[in-house]
Chains A and B, each alone.
Chain A
Amino acid sequence: MLAFKRKLNTIQKEAIFIAPSLTLYTIFFVIPFAIGIYYSFTNWQGISHNYEIIGLSNYTSLIKDQFFIDSIKRTLYFTLFNIFFTNVLGMIFALMLAGEVRFNKVYRLILMLPSILSLVVTGFLWQFMFTKISADIYKYTSIDLFNTNWLSDNKVILYSIVIVTVWQGLGYIMMIFIAGIKSVNTSVIEAGKIDGANGMKSFFYLQLPLMLPTILVGIFLNLAGSIKIFDVVFSLTGGGPGRISEVMVLNIYKEAFINNRLGYANAKAIVLTAVVILIVSIQMICMNKVGDQR
């Protein structure tokens, strides 16, 4: 009896530690996800509580949904450009500012500043830059670049969004890279120097491979954020004009909360989830490979 009581007591104490977290996590994460999968097979419309299970027909109709397909293509295209510019520029800036350069603390601070701003604010700010400021600069300098229709030209709008996200996200990635550069063992670089690896050679054959884990973190962090881009586009263009800047999450958001086709929107969200799971799996494989090499 006493032993039983003691065991009950330890179970109670363990429960104090793990039950609250698991309860919250289950209610607000796991259950909604499970319900979401179920809804993706129904024609649930939100307001009316009656719905029917319609099998896979949400999924078959979203293959034919040109707006959704376009939004996926657009998002992937944007992601590619965003990752390339954010990481390459982030690495170049990090290499320049990691050493003991004059004012480097101030420069880091300025470059980092946009990443702590809210993305919605950033969107409004750049809407102002692209429309008013750009036109005003053109008025004074007549440089053709500033005569661009940044937010209404079909061919330009995606690059405008990339400009904003690079401006916003670069500082964060740069700080991660600087931490990575500093964690590289300097004795390896010194040893390389003795063996005749200088400048570019030292960078490409020693420093870069040693930093590979950090670079992967930067790329995948950026990748996950880019696929799910929403806030900036919401405030910068709202997906418009027309639907030419509608990204994947914005398409899902509108389908769910404006058109109220919740079942269908959930099927789209599941597609997004599949894309994200694919990325995470690739990430884990890459990280493990890099981990093995070290």
Chain B
Amino acid sequence: MRSKKIITVIMGVISFVWFIPIYFMLINSFKPFKEVVLETAKFPSTFYLGNYIELFKNTNYLQLFFNSIIITSLSVAGIVLLSSMLGYRMARYKNRFSKYLFIYISFAVIIPFQAIMIPLVKVMNSLFLIDTRIGIILVYIAHGLPFGTFLYYSSIVKISELIDQSAKIDGANLIKIYTKIIFPMCSPITVTVVILQFLYIWNDFLLPLIVLKTNTIHTLPLGMSAIIMGEYSNKWNYAMASAFLTSIPMILVFVFLQKYIIKGVAEGSLKI
């Protein structure tokens, strides 16, 4: 019993230390510039909202937020749809074709994004997809597909083919079998794929950095970094306020869906 109490205390101290940077981000976002410079570590005497008002007035935060929502949700939806379809068929092929597909898709697991980023810009350029939201969505889908396909494949292989066959005898075609039977049976995998891809795409920085040039279509991390490094550089009060604004959506999602996120992280990693 005593050892448990000691652990509670030790981990309490560690969690406290872990929270310090977030705490300082919060308190300094509610201070005017002068107070941040002179008394950085002090708790604000009054909650000053000027930084946030300024950011909402002079930057396109809502636009950035909207862009991130659109890009992330459509990409994740595309990944779920396409990878479950591909995974389903791959699990059912009995010939060598399935093996070849597997090897073909495995490239994505081995080859890092950095190896393709430079020519990717050129490919997107020649397809008139550079600097467009639809372009970046298609790239996210293409890059997230293999991971999703593997997860769906490994769970659909375990579903007996007799289910397909009996549905077929009842007159269901392939598309109906997939939408009414197979896909609903994979919903635990869908949750895992959605969470991991959502976390990854929402926070991704490198791809938006190289393909999104116009600032009206920037994602939240990219637009926010441009704001901090641009007109507000060295103004810590604005930097901390916009850092917090960028983090709020994710923090809310995390607090409300933590059960699923923790499950998704744990399961996704164990299945790789």
Residues of A within 8 A of B (CB): 13-14, 16-18, 20-22, 24-25, 27-33, 35-36, 39, 93, 96-97, 99-104, 106-114, 116-121, 124-126, 128-129, 132-133, 135-137, 140, 167, 172, 175-176, 178-180, 183, 214, 217-218, 221, 227-228, 230-231, 234-235, 249, 252-253, 256-257, 262, 265-266, 269-270, 272-273, 276-277, 280
Contact = CB atoms under 8 A, between A and B. Distances in A.
Residue of A18, A109, A119 ringed by the most chain B CB atoms within 10 A: A18
Contacts of A108: 262
B205 A231 contact: yes
Nearest to B127: A27
Contacts of B247: 117-118, 121
A136 B41 contact: yes
A172 B269 CA distance: 10
Nearest to B254: A116
B128 interface: no
Given A96-B7, A106-B15, A121-B243, A21 B149 contact: yes
A129 to B, nearest CB: 5
B85 A133 contact: no
> Which A-B residue pairs are the 7 nearest by beta carbons?
A179-B266, A28-B142, A35-B119, A32-B116, A136-B40, A32-B119, A118-B203
Contacts of B251: 113, 116
Q: Chain B interface secondary structure, helix, strand, loop or mixed?
A: helix
A151 to B, nearest CB: 14
24 contacts: A22-B101, A25-B105, A25-B145, A33-B107, A36-B118, A96-B11, A107-B12, A111-B15, A117-B247, A119-B205, A119-B221, A120-B205, A125-B21, A129-B24, A135-B40, A167-B18, A172-B265, A176-B266, A179-B266, A235-B228, A235-B229, A272-B114, A276-B110, A276-B111
B212 to A, nearest CB: 13
B189 interface: no
Given A28-B138, A266-B118, A97 B112 contact: no
B89 to A, nearest CB: 5
Nearest to B225: A120
Interface of B: 4-5, 7-8, 10-12, 14-15, 18-19, 21-22, 24-25, 28, 36-37, 39-41, 82-83, 85-86, 88-90, 101, 104-105, 107-120, 122-124, 127, 138-139, 141-143, 145-146, 149, 173-175, 178, 199, 202-203, 205-206, 210, 220-222, 224-225, 228-229, 236, 239-240, 243, 246-247, 250-251, 253-255, 258, 261-262, 265-267, 269-270, 272
Given A13-B173, A28-B123, 5 more contacts: A18-B90, A102-B8, A112-B254, A230-B206, A231-B206
A260 to B, nearest CB: 10
B226 to A, nearest CB: 10
Given A102-B4, A128-B240, A129-B21, A17 B221 contact: no
Contacts of B86: 17-18, 21-22
A27 to B, nearest CB: 7
B7 to A, nearest CB: 5
Contacts of A96: 7, 10-11
Given A17-B88, A96-B11, A217 B116 contact: no
Nearest to B135: A28
Contacts of B269: 176, 179, 217-218, 221
Contact of A118 (B41, B220, B229, B236): B220
A24 B119 contact: no
A231 B28 CA distance: 23
B228 to A, nearest CB: 6
B262 A277 contact: no
A28 B120 contact: yes
Contacts of A101: 4, 7-8, 11
Contact of B11 (A93, A118, A120, A262): A93
B123 A262 contact: no
B8 A257 contact: no
A167 to B, nearest CB: 7
A118 B15 contact: no
Contact of B143 (A28, A117, A167): A28
A124 B106 CA distance: 35
A114 B117 CA distance: 27
A15 B13 CA distance: 57
B119 A104 contact: no
A228 B111 CA distance: 12
Contacts of B4: 99-102
